[in-house]
Chain A
Amino acid sequence: MSDLLPPFDAHRFFVAPWTTDIATYGWMTLMAFLVTAACGLVGNYLILRRMALVGDAISHSVLPGLAVAFLISGKLTLPAMLGGALGAGLLTTFLIEFLHTRSRIKADAAIGITFCSLFALGVVLINVFASKVHLDAECVLYGELSNLALAEYSLGMPAPVLVMGGVAVIVAVLIALFYKELLITSFDALLAGSQGFAPGKMHLALMAALSIVIVAAFESVGAILVIAMLILPGATAQLLSTRLPVCLALSVLHAALSAIGGLHLSLVLGCPMAAAVVVAGTLLFGCAWAVSLMQRRAGFEASMPTESAV
């Protein structure tokens, strides 16, 4: 068992990433932060709308979208990828909705059927038509942050970081712009409809944003870990606060902490960084859970005397 862990070396694990190796690890941490922050912002709304599993579904069904985009455009350029992912994401949303409103299939089963079928379709498409490109299914599932080191640089930073940063900024700006609309449609779609907001359009827009975030995050963290990035920050934040703005801020903080924690964890354990970021995020979630449990107990005990007094 002892040879599972690399020999402990405090300098290499905790100091070097921030001094000598900042060129690689700095970008990796920044990338991890951007991915988790963008996903976490969107994820807050997914959790509020009880659509966490739809994120799961879209993260898998982006694969055939990418495959089709590749087949049509011939190479994996950024617009093609975004377009393919967008199409796949909207198709998934539509199919899920269609299956469970038009038959007795329940929503959870509809999600499962849709994403499994689309994912299988994607694997087959890739195997049959595109087995020679780097778009292989395993990379889609795993993702690897250290691929950043191989990426081309543009504007002084690795291209994926640039893309992810752009997506994160756009998501943040959109959430700021449409804050009121998102809030009201997430909490009470009927009220939103009666007030003249368009819950259907907001739903579609959120799904579109979700697909774009997922495809941008994809290469570095993979399809399954993206789900963790979507849910963990929001879930942690919502354990600690009941105010949406605070939740959004907390999930960005969670993203930063888990990115840095993940970096060190991956060095200490010697495991892939994307997974380590999620593990660090899970640990943070565990802490938040413990805090919320203690708060509940404290609140419960505090409320006891008043109740007995009444």
Chain B
Amino acid sequence: MLPGIALGFLWNDTKDPLAILIGATLVGGLSMLTVSAITRTTRLKEDAAMGLVLSSFYAVGICLIGMIQRLPSGNKSGIDKFLFGQAAAMNGSDIALMAITAGLTLLFVTVGYRGLLTLSFHRAFGESLGLPMGFLHHAMMLLISFAVVTAMQAVGVVLVSAMLIIPPATACLLTDRMHRVLILSAIIGVGTAAFGAFLSFLGSNLPTGPFMVLAGSFVFAMAFLFSPQQGWLTRLWRQKTQKCRIERENTLKAMYHLAERHGFREEGITLLELANARREPLEQIRLQSDDLLRQKLATLTDDGSMLHFTPEGWRKACAVVRNHRLWELYLTNIMQYGADHVHDDAEKIEHVLGEDTVRQLERRLDFPQTDPHGKPIPGAREVHGSSKHRPAGTTGY
């Protein structure tokens, strides 16, 4: 882009924004053609070609600027402003040009929304539909050049790419739909730019462009960490709670199995039994029982050796066992699996089956009473807490 600016500058010896815009856009287009020519005709990959063209053109630009600076007329008036940008030094015509660019971009994106969407996600599909993919691609590149050149005055040639990348990247982390990404990225861009500019006005001699970029980076970092769907910490947190829940459900299930083995008689389950059943050390079981106590899913006898279900805990245990046995039945009866192959699969799926799926399963299996191994499946009534059919005594109350 830089040689374009210099050429535009040479053309009529002033910092006429229009001449600079035309020069820069032409050179931008040329550089894109060069990149694609290099990648098509040589073994060099796209990244090498891009870096090469970028820096070579930049060097040509610096050479030209160096030459311009020796001109009697070329007092390099403002040309080095393009390197870092000076939002405060813009005048009315600069702003008018920016407004025109913004308007054009908005129009293009609105009119060509579907085409651009196809281009970005699946170009070959768009071509097969007969959409003008090549035209759209080049029009988009042209608009990017326009946008870059106009934005350069505000933030400079280096940080322009931040303006291009950071707002959409942030929006991408926050939502899934393309139109929302577009709107959100515009809002984020405007918001962070305004905030950054405001920050830079607080002190004296603070550069505007870098502050705008830093405000954007901050918002991006927040989205990266805490975005409800995509955030890194959110996902870690979700994974952790999920793991805890599965652990808890497994303990409840083991307790259910033990109670079942006792014939649902009126006694609790000792921790030692539980440790044997789960094949884990007693300390581990103690931690798990503490967790159950905290969640009010079980009560512990005073000497700390026996667990009893609370009504809520009983319901949960029934639900897990029911999920497990229903799924086993589904696999054997409908999917024709062997009865000895279904347990491991059910071990995994029991934690993620939702309410509706379970009902559906029940309906398809015609409300079964026993699982493939002949064990009774806890009914819906027990899971949903009708006290009448709860085996007496197992709850500890």
Which residues of A approach B to under 8 Å, CB–CB?
1, 3-6, 46-47, 50-53, 55-56, 60, 99, 102-105, 109, 112-113, 116-117, 119-121, 123-124, 127-128, 131, 137-138, 141-142, 224-225, 227-228, 230-232, 234-235, 238-239, 269-272, 274-276, 278-279, 281-282, 285, 289, 292-293, 296
User: Which chain B residues border A103 with CB–CB below 8 Å?
Assistant: 173, 224, 230, 232
Question: Nearest A residue to B161 by beta-carbon distance?
Answer: A112
Contact of B172 among A104, A119, A128, A228 (CB under 8 A): A104
Whether a CB of chain A sits under 8 angstroms from the CB of B206 is yes
Q: Is the CB of A50 within 8 A of B45?
A: yes
Instruction: Output the nearest chain A residue to B170 by Cβ-Cβ distance.
Output: A113
User: Number of B residues contacting the other chain (C-beta, 8 Å)?
Assistant: 58
CB of B211 closer than 8 Å to a CB of A: yes
Contact of A113 among B206, B209, B217 (CB under 8 A): B217
Docked complex Cα distance between A124 and B200 (Å): 10
CA distance A103 to B225 in the complex (A): 10
The 4 closest A-B pairs by CB, nearest first: A116-B162, A228-B55, A278-B59, A271-B66
**CB <8 Å contact, A3 and B71:** yes
- Within the complex, the shortest CB–CB distance from B4 to chain A, in Å, comes to 15
Q: What are 15 contact pairs spanning A and B, CB under 8 A? A: A53-B50, A55-B51, A120-B209, A127-B205, A224-B55, A228-B56, A269-B66, A270-B66, A271-B62, A271-B64, A275-B59, A279-B63, A282-B56, A282-B60, A285-B52
Q: Are A225 and B58 in contact (CB under 8 A)?
A: yes
Instruction: State in angstroms the CA–CA spacing of A90 and B18 once bound together.
Output: 42
Binding site for A on B (CB under 8 A): 10, 38, 41-45, 47-52, 54-56, 58-68, 70-72, 80, 83-84, 158-159, 161-162, 164-166, 169, 172-173, 203, 205-207, 209-211, 213-214, 216-217, 220, 224, 230, 232
Docked pose: A123 CA to B207 CA in angstroms: 8
Task: Tell whether, in the assembled complex, residue B169 and residue A105 are in contact, meaning their CB atoms are under 8 Å apart.
Answer: yes
A192 to B62, CA, bound (A): 42
Give the CA-CA distance A235 to B50 in the complex, in Å. Answer: 11
Of B48, B63, B172, B203, the contact of A47 (CB 8 Å cutoff): B48
By a CB distance below 8 angstroms, the chain A residues around B72 are 3
Please name all residues of chain B whose beta carbon is closer than 8 Å to the beta carbon of A225 when the two chains form the complex. 55, 58-59, 62
Number of A-B contacts (CB under 8 A): 191
Q: A46-B48, A99-B224, A138-B80 are in contact. List 20 more A-B contacts (CB 8 A).
A: A6-B70, A53-B47, A55-B51, A105-B173, A120-B214, A121-B210, A123-B209, A123-B210, A124-B206, A124-B207, A128-B206, A225-B58, A228-B52, A231-B51, A232-B56, A238-B43, A270-B66, A271-B64, A275-B62, A275-B63
Which applies to chain A's interface (DSSP): helix, strand, loop or mixed?
helix
Decide if B55 touches A231 in the complex (CB within 8 Å).
Answer: yes
The reply to whether B66 and A119 contact each other, CB–CB distance below 8 Å, is no
Point out the residues of chain B lying under 8 angstroms from A281, CB to CB.
Answer: 56
In the complex, are the beta carbons of A137 and B84 less than 8 A apart?
yes
- Alpha-carbon gap, A282 to B31, bound state (A): 13
Contacts of B217 in A (CB 8 A): 113, 116-117, 120-121
Residues on the A chain within 8 Å of B203, using CB: 128
Question: Which residues of the other chain, A, contact B43 by a CB distance below 8 angstroms?
Answer: 238-239
State the CA gap A177–B72 with chains docked (Å): 54
Bound complex: CA of A138 vs CA of B211, how far in Å? Answer: 17
Q: Report the minimal beta-carbon distance from B57 to chain A, rounded to whole angstroms.
A: 9
Contacts of A116 in B (CB 8 A): 158-159, 161-162, 165-166, 213, 217
Kindly state the separation between the CA atoms of A4 and B169 in the bound complex, as whole angstroms. 43
Q: Who on chain B is nearest to A117 by CB?
A: B217
A306 to B386: give the CA distance in the assembly, Å: 85
CA distance A4 to B43 in the complex (A): 37
Interchain CB contact (< 8 A) of B66 among A128, A235, A272, A292 = A272
Residues in A with CB closer than 8 Å to B52 are 52, 228, 231-232, 235, 285
Which of A4, A224, A230, A296 neighbours the largest number of chain B CB atoms within 10 Å of its CB? Answer: A224
**A271-B63 contact given A113-B162, A224-B55, CB 8 Å threshold:** yes
Let me know if A117 and B67 touch, CB within 8 A.
no
Q: Which residue of B lies closest to A107 (CB)?
A: B47
* Cross-chain contact A47 with B59 (CB below 8 angstroms): no
Given A52-B48, A279-B63, answer yes or no on A270-B210 (Cβ-Cβ < 8 Å).
no
Q: How far is B59's CA from A24's CA once the two chains are assembled, in angstroms?
A: 22
Q: How far is the CB of B268 from chain A (nearest CB, A)?
A: 45
CA distance A132 to B94 in the complex (A): 32
* Residues from chain A with Cβ under 8 Å of B162 in the complex: 112-113, 116-117, 120
Question: How far is B52's CA from A281's CA once the two chains are assembled, in angstroms?
Answer: 10
Q: How far is the CB of B43 from chain A (nearest CB, A)?
A: 7
- In the complex formed, the residue of A with least CB distance to B217 is A117
Please state if A52 and B50 are interface contacts (CB–CB under 8 Å): yes
Q: In the complex, A190→B90 CA distance in Å?
A: 53
A279 and B56 within 8 A (CB):
yes
What A residues does B220 contact at CB under 8 A?
113, 117
Neighbouring A residues of B47 by C-beta, 8 Å: 50-53
Bound form: Cα–Cα A282–B216 in Å: 35
Q: How far is the CB of B223 from chain A (nearest CB, A)?
A: 9
Q: Decide: B51 and A5 in contact? CB cutoff 8 A.
A: no
For A4, list chain B residues within 8 Å (CB). Answer: 10, 67-68, 71
B114 to chain A minimum Cβ distance, whole angstroms, is: 23
Check if A270 sits within 8 Å of B67, measured CB to CB.
yes
Docked-complex contact A102 and B55, CB < 8 angstroms: no
Q: Is the CB of B214 within 8 A of A121?
A: yes
Residues on the B chain within 8 Å of A112, using CB? 161-162, 164-166
